[in-house]
Every structure is written in structure tokens, then in C-alpha cells.
Amino acid sequence: MLRIGVLVSGGGTNLQAILDAIDSGAITNAQVETVISNNPGAYALERARKHGIDALCVSPKTFETRDLFYQALMEKLEEYRLDLIVLAGYLVTIPPAMIRRYRNRIINIHPSLIPSFCGVGYYGLKVHEAALKRGVKVTGATVHIVDEGVDSGPILLQKAVEVLPGDTPEILQRRVMEQAEWKILPQAIDGIANHRIQMPEEEQT
């Protein structure tokens, strides 16, 4: 059984897609052990609690330094003996020490077809604003492994979504979530849990 920790900052619709997929059997051999947010008000925490999952907040605001925050976050993650960490709308940069500790065991969902509209500054609605500004006719979402760069790790799954006339960033964001993110994130987890997706060799430090 793959032990998963999900890190969130906001509404948690991607988390919900994971929980629903586990409930329906679309994801097998995996269990969400904990959901951790940097933001105490994240509705994602509520979603986790409704599912009887340990939901907690580790907020940088409650620590004197960034390093102390990261240390507390990593200690919490250790407690759950996780096999996979899923960033599902987590707006905090992952420190190099955590990437080393969980090498090739952290995945992220990004709301564009990487390498378009990704990297520093491309998060949330900004991604969709940039896609509309460039006039692309197809966008989508990407699940990738997290490495030391920003949205630069190996790509696991991608799904394309049409851009339609009259789209606003909000409308496009919703379509990308519904048609791509909520599908490929659970698919990636199921693929990893059932060894259909080959992760690069784990190398722990």
C-alpha cells in the first residue's frame, strides 16, 4: 500500500479528485495518510477531515525562520513514513533538503503543458492569463516529478485541453481542472501505486 501525503494551500479540488478516485477504486493500492497545509484556512483541510484523514497546518508564520518551518514540516512528514508526496496546489517552495530526502517521490500538478507557461511566477491564474495572452489554441495540465528547479522535473503525464473563443482566465482554469488536472493526478498516483509508471531510481540521503 502506497502511503501518500498531500500538501495543499487552498480549496483542495485536486485533493478531492484523489480521495474520490480512492473511494471509487480508480486508485488502488494507495492511501492518503495525511494532508498538510501552510494555510490554516485552507478548505482542503476540511475535505481531508471529512474523510477521516489527519489534516494539519504547518504554517511558516508560526516559526521564527524559514529553516525552522521547513524542519517542522519535514519532521511531520517523517512521522507518516510516506512513500509519495503529492503537491496539490501547494504554494510553498520545496527546500532542497526535502527534495533530497524524497528524491523522485514528490510529484506536482501544473496547469499547463510544460514547458509552456511554467517556471518562476507561473502559478494559479497567472498561467492561464499567459496562455490566453499568447493566443494558444491548446493548453492542458502536467504531472511531473519535483526536482530542485521550478516545474523542471521529469514529466509523468500530460493532458491537452482546448482553449475556446471568449475564454477568460477563470473559465479556462476551470476547464483545465475539470478536463485535465482532476483526471491525470489520480491517474499518475494509480500508475505509481501499481507500477505502471516507472519512477526513476530512488536515491535517499
Residue with grid cell 500538501, as numbered in its chain: 7
Q: How far is the CB of 110 from ligand GRF (least distance, A)?
A: 6
Residue 174 φ then ψ, to 5°: -65, -45
With binding defined as CB under 6 A, does residue 10 bind ligand GRF? yes
Contact stretch for ligand GRF (CB under 6 A) within 19-27, 30-38, 95-103, 104-112: 104-112
User: Minimum CB separation from ligand GRF for residue 161, in Å?
Assistant: 12
Is the preceding peptide bond at 115 cis, omega within 30 degrees of 0? yes
Q: Judged by CB under 6 A, how many residues of this single chain contact ligand GRF? A: 16
Q: State in angstroms the smallest separation of the CB of 77 from ligand GRF.
A: 19
> At a CB cut-off of 8 Å and minimum separation 6, what does 107 contact?
84, 85, 86, 87, 143, 144, 145, 146, 156, 188, 189, 192
How many angstroms separate the CA atoms of 103 and 135, rounded?
36
Distance CA 186, CA 15 (A): 9
Restricted to residues 115-154, the positions that interact with ligand GRF (CB under 6 A) are 124
Span 50-89, contacts to ligand GRF by CB under 6 A: 88-89
Among 5, 111, 140, 191, binds ligand GRF (CB under 6 A): 111
- Nearer to ligand GRF by Cβ, of 77 and 180: the residue is 180
The amino acid at 30: A
| 195 tagged catalytic | no
Closer CB to ligand GRF, 151 or 190, in the complex = 151
Q: Phi then psi for 186, rounded to 5 degrees?
A: -60, -40
Residues annotated as catalytic (active site), given as ranges: 110
Chain positions contacting ligand GRF, by CB under 6 A:
8, 10-15, 44, 88-89, 109-111, 124, 177, 181
